[in-house]
Chains A and B, each alone.
Chain A
Amino acid sequence: MGGQAVDEALHGRVMASAQTLDRPARNTIARPPRESHASWPLADRLCHALCWATGIGLCLVTAWIVLYMLVKGISALNLKLFVESPAPSLRERESGGFLDPLIGTFIITAIGMAFAAPAGVGIATWLTEYARPRWLARAVESGIETLAGVPSIVLALFGLLVFARGFFSFLSGSTNGGAVSGKSFLAAGLLMSVLALPLIVGTTREALTQLPSRMREASFALGKTRATTIRRVLLPSIRPGIASGVVLGMGRIIGDTAIIVVVLGASPKLQGAGGAPLLSTLRGSGSTLTSYVYGFSPAGEGNSPQKAYAAAFVLLMIVLALNGVVTRLSRGRSLDTIEQGAKP
């Protein structure tokens, strides 16, 4: 009980009890008496004002970005954009919609998660439940940390080399010369799973280490093996943790552009590689919303800002929705989730 109280104090109530320094810190938090700033030195009062300014400023900047995207996005958006494929035309009216990039975003996310979620949960489980030998576990830990710090453009270049090997020819189509192109949804999705892996490992580990050891002991006492305990007791009880890791990973995948541009080819339309219908798409190249926005921004070739605004608006809405899901899953401890992917 005592430990729990301390934990609560550490996580939620530090501020309140800091203000009641003159009375014993108990679990019951009374409203603190109003503290007078008049007694503070000028420098302190200045810092205090700066703190407020920073906090409010941050809110205002965010509000401006969201409102700006909202206004520009909604005015550029119409339903036709969702059902039309992009067309190669320089004129704004004829360059079509973003149906293909939208589909591409879903495909990439699905492939990425299909690999990252099981692998991430598996690695996290090994790290918390087995971790033998110790040195290996420690090496894997810092390996995950390193992976979280690898820039996605480097990952993309690495993937290009690996997937262009003949050995991986089943993943992508071939170029005109007959060489393996290495560019496909499958290849990009696999790389994306590497990008999302540290996030999933982080949240799952966090959740697993927070489970009380009595749950494991109770299961062992019933004669269950460790594997059964993990599968039947531990993993089911940390479902929200895993889910928030998965959602965070999805956000990461949806938002990445470098891998798409380099490894998916960022061709506006889905271009199948030939063969069976679905497989052809997966082995072919295409684009996602992020690369669409990049392509249609003034920095890219398309240069029609209206299309870019509309697609960016849809992208932002997806991200906002994912954000809402994470907040629901991790009630109250929202800031923790940001850092879990790269926990020191």
Chain B
Amino acid sequence: MATGGPTRTALHPLVRGSGLRAAVRTDRRAELVLGALAVGVLALIALMLVTVLVNAWPSFSANGLSWFGSGGDPVTQLAAMQTDTPLPGHSVLYFSAWPLLWGLLLTTVLAVAIALVVSTLAAVFLTEFAPKPVRRVLEPVVRLLAGVPSVIYGLVGILAIAPWVNEHLISNARRQSVAYVVQLSGADLTTATLILTLMILPIMIALTANALSSVPISWREGSAALGVNRWRTIRRVSLRGARPAIAAAVVLATARALGEAIMLAMVSGGRPFDANPLDGLTFFFEPVETPATAILKEFGGETGTPVAHTAYALAAVLLFSAALLSFAGWAVRQSMRRSTVV
């Protein structure tokens, strides 16, 4: 590809003044306009970081590190801010986000862990074992799952899955054993994690399957020539070669799970509860809430109020995690660049 295109010095005397110079000028202008558009993306990100952080600052500075700690129920605290009646012994901006962060951690880690196993199996199936007719069904299915809006997942969750969990999985004894702290309703950690898994699966399957199918045939033929059987080849050659793509898939899936607000708002039980693993099996039926859900439910769209500052602080945490994730994904991919295909 010619790199510079025709430049001013390259003009032949004969073509001078024949409109070519104007054409070159248009060309320059096109590059400038398109470049400006691209730089606009960077400006937008910078602006987003600055505005969110500036608006989040009052909440962070009023609470210090205890913002991340566990000091009561975030929803009560937000309600106190809304009515402008500070909780006894605290400032109006008092907020402790741990129950929300814990809910986020639980749902995200569980969903991504399950989805990692399932998506790897599904991708191997799709690229290695599925007969053509099955593949022709499975690919559109994966794409459909990726396209379904999260509100539909939420609706199915709250109207079909949560009642089912409530009826069949939660025994009355269990319900009564925790009735004095929390009401188990089926909208809980299990339901939320299941649906979240289903939502992040398609992107993971797509990335992994694409990577698996671009592992060079010669690598696998080499493995087969050494007398290694099919599964071992898949595990030791194909999946290993696809590791960067799997890492990328995990990063993207986590990012999606982090920001999921509407589905979780519908099925996760809607109150920030410190679901406690020490509760045994009951743990899986306790409600959870994540930062994105809290913003969606408690924030009415005003600016400059304590509630708004808190909402922006939660948004800043999400934004920061998303940026950190995309950096981590990049770093992992860099470190695996050798010995892999993608």
Contacts and interface: CB of A to CB of B under 8 A. Distances in A.
Contact of A153 (B122, B215, B295, B303): B295
Given A299-B266, A336-B210, A154 B128 contact: no
B333 A344 contact: yes
Contact of B259 (A151, A220, A293): A151
A213 B180 CA distance: 71
Contacts of B69: none
A161 B55 contact: yes
A69 interface: yes
Contact of B252 (A25, A48, A342): A342
A290 B29 CA distance: 41
B299 interface: yes
A208 B182 CA distance: 56
A85 interface: no
B301 A262 contact: yes
A225 B33 contact: no
A228 B20 CA distance: 12
B248 A157 contact: no
Given A151-B322, A220-B2, A299-B265, A143 B41 contact: yes
Interface string B7-30: 000000000000000011011011
A81 interface: no
A315 B217 CA distance: 42
A122 B33 contact: yes
Contacts of A240: none
Interface stretch (B44-52, B85-93, B165-173, B271-279): B44-52
A322 B207 CA distance: 21
A293 B158 CA distance: 12
B76 interface: no
A262 B299 CA distance: 8
B178 interface: no
Contacts, number: 316
Interface string A129-154: 01010001101101111110111111
Interface stretch (A56-64, A91-99, A106-114, A274-282): A56-64
Contact of B38 (A66, A140, A262): A140
Contacts of A65: 148, 152, 156
Given A312-B152, A335-B143, A153 B322 contact: no
Contact of B206 (A41, A119, A261, A338): A338
A41 B235 CA distance: 14
Contacts of B150: 255, 257
Nearest to A154: B315
A147 B159 CA distance: 33
Interface residues of B, number: 112
A178 B178 CA distance: 50
B213 interface: yes
A335 B155 contact: no
Contacts of A265: 301
Contacts of B229: 39-41, 44
Contacts of A220: 2, 5
Interface in B46-63: 47-48, 51-52, 55
A226 B217 contact: no
B42 A143 contact: yes
Given A164-B303, A294-B151, A21 B220 contact: yes
Contact of A61 (B40, B198, B210, B333): B198
A111 B73 CA distance: 40
A142 B207 CA distance: 18
Contact of B34 (A17, A62, A126): A126
A4 interface: no
Contacts of A69: 152, 156
B151 A339 contact: no
Contacts of A227: 23, 26-27, 29-31
A68 B160 contact: yes
Interface in A246-272: 251, 254-258, 261-263, 265
Given A55-B125, A59-B138, A161-B51, A25 B144 contact: no
B52 A157 contact: yes
Contacts of B29: 227
Given A15-B128, A322-B147, A146 B202 contact: no
Given A320-B144, A335-B210, A149 B311 contact: no
Interface in A193-232: 194, 197, 213, 216-217, 220, 223, 225-228, 230
B151 A125 contact: no
Nearest 6 A/B pairs, CB to CB: A151-B259, A255-B149, A126-B34, A227-B30, A51-B125, A44-B231
Given A319-B148, A323-B147, 12 more contacts: A69-B152, A140-B42, A147-B44, A150-B322, A153-B295, A223-B6, A254-B149, A257-B151, A257-B261, A299-B154, A299-B270, A316-B148
29 contacts: A10-B214, A15-B128, A22-B224, A35-B230, A39-B229, A54-B122, A55-B126, A58-B138, A68-B160, A119-B37, A123-B38, A126-B37, A130-B35, A152-B261, A153-B292, A154-B322, A162-B47, A225-B6, A254-B149, A257-B151, A258-B262, A262-B296, A263-B301, A294-B262, A299-B154, A335-B210, A336-B206, A342-B252, A344-B251
